[in-house]
Structure 1
Amino acid sequence: MTDHEPQQAADRTGAHDGDGAQVSTGTTAEPGEVADAAIPELVIISGMSGAGRSTAAKCLEDLGWFVVDNLPPALIPTMVELGARSQGNVARIAVVVDVRGRQFFDALRESLAALDTQGVTRRTVFLESSDEALVRRFESVRRPHPLQGDGRIVDGIAAERDLLRELRGDADLVIDTSSLNVHELRAKMDAQFAGDAEPELRATVMSFGYKYGLPVDADLVVDCRFIPNPHWVPELRPFTGLNEEVSAYVFGQPGAKEFLDRYTELLQLIAAGYRREGKRYVTIAVGCTGGKHRSVAVSEKLAARLASEGVETVVVHRDMGRE
């Protein structure tokens, strides 16, 4: 694993609802009760520190789950109740439970038993790993194990295993990440929770001008400077690539349409690989000299092609307004 659990994600407890909120059945839920028609699906993520809890949580977040990190187990029923009061806006909740909340573990069984009586669909995912792999991961980030105190890393690992033994035995899914990398763990989570839907890919297509520098967040860079520059056509110079006349000029040049067709085919191949590797976001930077004409026109056409292939696409023109 390359994501190390000592560096946990920030607490994402952002759920809220208004006073007197109505559940989807049109009746008000009593405190501690959950309306049947609005019951969210619940996943408990736990396991050994360093075994990949944060990666598993981020995977569910990318799949549309509402993820809460380090929630005290006693508050899980409250979290589910808030989800039920959201009128369907929070239909799936994932809660990360770890040794930072060890003083609350006595309440976990009681909380889950209460949810069972209310018909909450829940699963527990336990992330496991060998002592050798965990030691290697903690040493690579030069951080202590949360439970090692004044002892060694292996002492903390042993204490945590003892603490989590009962939870591991009750888990619905145990994933051993000893030999898994981040992408392989994401693939396992996708297989369990994505259903038949293919993981969604989101793309940002950004036009830019080379004279202003490359976008620092670009995953792929496309150079359109092989196309004749509309800047040197007096009647087109005042316009941008959003103008139909400029776009027609750009794609009327030799090789421009063929380039768009071939690059779209290449992106289809790359997008399939990104999905397999669990990559959800990609930024495609399309550049010309000033970022006003060619790159803008190509970005618009490329984004339209991606959208037609089912890729959620946003277009940004970074330098179009510059002189």
Structure 2
Amino acid sequence: MNERDTTTGAVPADAAPAGALETVIITGLSGAGRSTAAKCFEDLGFFVVDNLPPELIGTLVDLGSRSQGAVTRLAVVMDVRGRAFSKDLRGTIRGMPRTLRPRVLFLEAGSDVLVRRFESVRRAHPLQGGGRLVDGINAERELLAGLRDDADLVIDTSNRSVHDLRRAIESAFTGPASDDALALRATVLSFGFKYGLPVDADMVVDVRFLPNPHWIPELRDLTGQDEEVSDYVLGQEGATEFLDSYTDLLRIVGAGYRRESKRFLTLAVGCTGGKHRSVAMSRQLAARLDAMGVRTHVVHRDLGRE
């Protein structure tokens, strides 16, 4: 799953050519954080363009590629100010050569969160018209459903602060724009089922089949980041076999992602409260992804919650 074949040193046929422009499209639901994301990309050294018509993306990428190094990283913010953009954008991206296709970052949030955000700034939703705020949110969600399905990376900002969103973007998009641009990156996210499923997960792992350290008095106040808890979880029957089998599955999935030009994987690992088992197992799965050459970032969503 590495961009470069470690056996022969050869670069795969679909690898980006030297000096190719790294392009990211920032899109998603209104109020989900596109402006914050755009500022983050500027800080990462991207040239940011706002509200570009889809039919001009190819032209902009071509101009950037011929800028003789003046522009090496490009981020384009696109939203429902042009209502036809969702269909047009999907077609434009699919029609581009694989080595030039932009990565698509899709930002979303729960409807209740978006309502509160719009009300806090006293703004109407761009698709609200004469209806309710929630009507505009639902219309936009439906309009963008296909684009969300095609996105390389979906980030749910419902429970993320501005700083959390910046860290997620920095983790996913830092690195050189050439050999690293097409490499698979993964986020391994531990969570507690009692706090709800992560809506931006590509794959969900349930590790509640393992005994819960919560019921061991000396382990209750510790977390899966502590050696004592990790040793307990990994020492349970089936834990190592599960990790071995799931690692084989991740190899297959990762190879498929690469073939389909999907460059981000969010793997959610859940237990009851997101404190012990999911934390320990997510760290193990992240280490195995790292060993495969996948750049991996670990997030413990519910660690520290009561």
TM-score (norm 2): 0.50
CA distance in 1, matches of 2:73, 2:124: 33
Does residue 92 of structure 2 align to residue 111 of structure 1? yes
Q: Note the alpha carbon deviations across 1:156-208, whole angstroms, 9 max, x for none.
A: 00000000000001111110000111111001111111249xxxxxxxxxxxx
In the alignment, residue 141 of structure 1 is paired with which amino acid?
Answer: V
CA distance in 1, matches of 2:68, 2:81: 31
Q: Is the Cα–Cα contact under 8 Å of residues 66 and 94 in structure 1 kept in the other structure?
A: yes
Q: Is the Cα–Cα contact under 8 Å of residues 39 and 80 in structure 1 kept in the other structure?
A: no
Q: Note the alpha carbon deviations across 1:72-124, whole angstroms, 9 max, x for none.
A: 1111001101101211111111111110122333321232123225x215211
For these two proteins, the number of residue pairs brought into alignment is: 161
- Correspondence for 1:166: 146
- Correspondence list, 1:100-179, <5 A: 100-116=81-97, 119-179=99-159
Rg comparison, structure with higher value: 1
- Correspondence list, 1:257-296, <5 A: none
CA distance in 2, matches of 1:52, 1:104: 19
- Correspondence for 1:50: 31
Q: Is the Cα–Cα contact under 8 Å of residues 77 and 114 in structure 1 kept in the other structure?
A: no
Deviation at 1:127?
Answer: 0.3
Q: Is the Cα–Cα contact under 8 Å of residues 47 and 74 in structure 2 kept in the other structure?
A: yes
Q: Is the Cα–Cα contact under 8 Å of residues 43 and 94 in structure 1 kept in the other structure?
A: yes
Identity of aligned residues (%): 62
Alignment partner of 1:101: what SS? coil
Deviation at 1:36?
Answer: 5.1
Alignment partner of 1:60 out of 41, 45, 59? 41
CA distance in 2, matches of 1:107, 1:173: 19
Q: Which moved more, 1:35-44 or 1:49-58?
A: 35-44
In the alignment, residue 59 of structure 2 is paired with which amino acid?
Answer: T
Q: Is the Cα–Cα contact under 8 Å of residues 79 and 85 in structure 2 kept in the other structure?
A: no
Alignment partner of 2:128: what SS? coil
CA distance in 1, matches of 2:106, 2:86: 15
Q: Is the Cα–Cα contact under 8 Å of residues 48 and 129 in structure 1 kept in the other structure?
A: yes
- Correspondence for 1:95: 76
Does residue 172 of structure 2 align to residue 192 of structure 1? yes
RMSD: 1.7
Q: Is the Cα–Cα contact under 8 Å of residues 45 and 94 in structure 1 kept in the other structure?
A: yes
Alignment partner of 1:83 out of 41, 52, 64? 64
- Correspondence for 2:51: 70
- Correspondence for 1:183: 163
Q: Is the Cα–Cα contact under 8 Å of residues 38 and 85 in structure 1 kept in the other structure?
A: no
Alignment partner of 1:99: what SS? coil
More relative contact order, 1 or 2 (CA 8 Å, 6+ apart) = 2
CA distance in 2, matches of 1:109, 1:125: 13
In the alignment, residue 114 of structure 2 is paired with which amino acid?
Answer: L
CA distance in 1, matches of 2:21, 2:68: 10
TM-score (norm 1): 0.48
Q: Is the Cα–Cα contact under 8 Å of residues 24 and 103 in structure 2 kept in the other structure?
A: yes
Q: Note the alpha carbon deviations across 1:245-284, whole angstroms, 9 max, x for none.
A: xxxxxxxxxxxxxxxxxxxxxxxxxxxxxxxxxxxxxxxx
Q: Is the Cα–Cα contact under 8 Å of residues 47 and 128 in structure 1 kept in the other structure?
A: yes
In structure 1, the gaps of 5 or more residues are 1-34, 197-323
In the alignment, residue 55 of structure 2 is paired with which amino acid?
Answer: A
